[in-house]
Amino acid sequence: MSPNSRLPLPGRLILPALALVVAACGERTEQAGQPQAAPAAAPTVAVTPAPTGPIDEALAAQGAELFQQKACASCHRVGGGRLTGPDLEDVTERRAYNWIMAMITKPDSMLKVDATARQLLMEYATPMANMNVSTDEARALYEFLRRDSQ
């Protein structure tokens, strides 16, 4: 006996009808907000090619500064082992560029939907904080991490 069947007949009809309306509305908002279907790992930043070639030293120096300013250094080391978070030495070699950019700018969303991020959370048992890092700042941080992975 479904819990619904105790309701008088109009109630039994209205509840499923409401569910349909709600579902339909949800669909419309999603379509309006995101014309291109989002991939499974939704919170990625704009997909751009990974930087290759020589290190941009000025950008890497800016990244090194941001690593302190944005308190990355309180949870991460680059070489020397883990702290609250993983050692970031060689992270640019073991992870994809767009994944790293997404993790730096939107760790909270990544920890909700991305399988790799969730696995790291199980391992480290502390969620990485969202430090309000812009895409440009993340790019500088990436260059710093790329420099120190070579």
CB nearer ligand HEC, residue 45 or residue 100: 100
Contact 106, 130 (CB under 8 A): yes
Q: By CB under 6 A, is residue 140 in contact with ligand HEC?
A: no
State the nearest-atom distance from the C-beta of 38 to ligand HEC, in Å.
21
Look at the alpha carbons of 33, 39, 44, 46 in this order and tell me if their dihedral is positive or negative: negative
* Residue of 64, 101, 102, 103 interacting with ligand HEC (CB under 6 A): 103
* Residue of 51, 55, 98, 124 interacting with ligand HEC (CB under 6 A): 124
Cα separation, 67 vs 61, whole angstroms: 10
Instruction: Measure the CA angle with vertex 140, ends 135 and 146; round to 5°.
Output: 120
Q: By CB under 6 A, is residue 133 in contact with ligand HEC?
A: yes
Q: By CB under 6 A, is residue 111 in contact with ligand HEC?
A: yes
DSSP 3-state assignment of 36? coil
**Phi, psi values for residue 143, rounded to 5°:** -65, -40
Q: By CB under 6 A, is residue 121 in contact with ligand HEC?
A: yes
Left (φ > 0), alpha (ψ -120 to 50) or beta: where does 134 sit? beta
| Chain positions contacting ligand HEC, by CB under 6 A | 70-72, 74-76, 84-86, 88, 91, 95, 100, 103-104, 107, 111, 120-121, 124, 126-129, 131, 133, 141
